[in-house]
Structures are given as structure tokens and as C-alpha cells.
Amino acid sequence: MVDVRENIREKALSLGFDAVGFARADVPLDADFARYEAFVDAKMHGEMAWLADAREARRRLDRDTILEGAKTIICVAKRYQREGEDEGLARHIARYARGRDYHRSLRRKVRQLAAHVRTLGAKARPMMDEEPLLERAWAVRAGLGFIGKNGMLIVPGVGSMVLLGEVATTLDLAPDPSNPEERCGKCTACLDACPTKAFVKPFVLDPRRCISYLTIESRSAIPVELRESIGEHLFGCDECQTVCPYNAGKGRAERLFEPLPRWRELRLEDLFSRDWLEIARGSAVHRATAEGLARNAAIVLGNQGKAPPDAALHHPSPVVREAAEWALNHGVGTSVEPRGT
């Protein structure tokens, strides 16, 4: 007799996922949801208003909204870590976003896994980070790994540079053993490495100080007191992950995450005047918006001690113009190079 769990596990691995686990869908995530509510109550979500929407929040806990009659959540993880590929703009972009936008390819693979589950005579719903789901909590419940002090899911043997996906199903499958206890010991490398000191304490990140939030999700002017600490980060930040011992020596993920050729050709100065669709096409950087990426580019130029181009100083967005003026007058460096050099 074919073991259904192993059948699904083998299918997931054949699709390119690096880890697979099973969790009970009918056991509430009460403790995790309480932490989520405390996060929102403290207004740490900043401009991410959707996180405070009560209806969406409840959907993160309500299994029948995820899939009526769901009994199991199949959790999968795919590694995106690639080292030594930081030419041009790529070095200013978080590793997960250097290649093609992962949403399309990952969604396709999760859908293929869900379709396979349906062939076993059950209902199945594919999900990923676009769905209102507490992904990391389910991944821990499914035994994929544990939460590190930086709040990231760490998959032993794979690391924390992973993308997650889920399939909710009516199949009643035995769960994998969960060991949620963190294994970081006395290590605080991730907390110490944060350029903007965004960690309130171990396991608690204040996104309003996080470079990833500031450069991707925030649409406002970045607080002046944090700009120098942003350094040369244009889109996202990997600092708390690159120093993590669990990410050491993991090699390269598949070519999907290889930096796009355009990052070798584009300069920071191009982000103020080049066609946005040309820059963002097929890339996850589109989430930052043209205005947001231009704002970030101005700050990076200032931190490099370079003057922004006239296109930045006369940009149609007041947020970009203000960042460009800051870069011109307050940029870090021994000197600010004159415009036009």
C-alpha cells in the first residue's frame, strides 16, 4: 500500500522544494495569533495597513476560511541563497529579489503540488505569501524548522534564506513532529548585525526601523536619523541572515534566483529617469514602486558620497526630491562629488 504522506513528500521534492512537512489544520494557532495581535496593537506594522485589518487577521486563524473541512496543511520551503553574484545593482538588492520574481514560479510549483493532492481524492488549496496566512507559524507546526532570534524560520540543513508555500487539504494525514524551541543558544550575531538596530529584543523586530520595510513597504520619506544606517541597501536587506551560522556553506540555489542581466547594466543614477517597466519587469523590485526605488537610490548615493543627478533633484515626486536634497547636502563620505562628474 502506498504511503500517502511519502507520496506527497516525494512529489514536493521532485518539484524542487528543499523541505516538506505536515501539520494539523484543525489545531488553532492561538499563541501565534496572540503575538500577531500584540504586534498590531503596538502599531509596529507601520504603513502596512492590511496587517491591521481584523477580517484579514481572522482569516489567518480560521481554517474553514482557508479551505472548508481542511485537516492538514502541507508546508514546503525552497532555498534561494546564492553567493558571489553581486555585480552592479545586484549588490544593493536583497538576494531573494535579484532574479526573476519568485511569485510566478513558486506559485506554479505549489499549484502543481495541490493538483497532485487532488488526484488522491481530496480537496486542496495552494497558498503562499500573498495569502492571509501565518506562514512561519504553520511551518514550525509542520516541523520544517524553528524561529531564530531574528524572527526568521530556520530550516536545519537548509538555512533561513527560504521561500515558503502551503497546500491546505481535506486529507487527514499524520503531522510531523514539531520542535519549536529555538536553537540559537547564546548567539546574537543577527541582532548585532542589524544596521538600524530594529530588534526590540530577541525574536521581536520593529519593522518601522527595518531596512526591508523602509526600502520596500514604506511610501513615506525615510526618517533622517535612519538614512546613514541604510548604507547601500536599495531594496531589502540580508544582514541578519548573512551572519547567521545556519546559512554558512549552503552553496547556490537554482538559476531562477540568478541575478537578472539588467542589474549589471543599470546604475543607481538610471533609476530616476529610465522607464520603470523596463527596470521592474519580471522582478520583485516592482513592490517598492518607481518612486520608492528612486527615493532609495538617492539615499544610497548620498551614503556613497555622490551627488544625485539633476533628474533626482527635479523628480516629480516630492519624496524623491527631498531625499535627493538630503543626499546632496548631508550625504556620508569624505566629499560629495559635483553633479555631472
Q: What are the residue numbers of the active site?
A: 129
CB 246 within 8 A of CB 85: no
| Gap between the Cα atoms of 83 and 98, Å rounded | 11
What grid cell was written down for 119? 488526484
Q: Which of 213, 226, 198 is nearest to 292 (CA)?
A: 213
User: Helix (H, G, I), strand (E, B), or coil: what is residue 150?
Assistant: coil
Tabulate helix, strand, coil % of the chain (nearest 5): 45, 10, 45
**Backbone φ, ψ for residue 163 (5° rounding):** -105, 145
* 234: helix, strand or coil: coil
> Which value, in Å, is the radius of gyration of the alpha carbons in the chain?
21
Contact 336, 328 (CB under 8 A): yes
Please tell me the distance from the alpha carbon of residue 243 to that of residue 94, in angstroms, as a whole number. Answer: 14
How many CA atoms within 13 Å lie on the side-chain side of 327?
35
**What are the distances in angstroms from CA 7 to CA 4, 15, 125, 143?**
5, 13, 18, 18
DSSP state string for 69-135: T--EEEEEEEE----S---GGGGGB-GGGSSS-HHHHHHHHHHHHHHHHHTTTS-EEEE-TTSSS-H
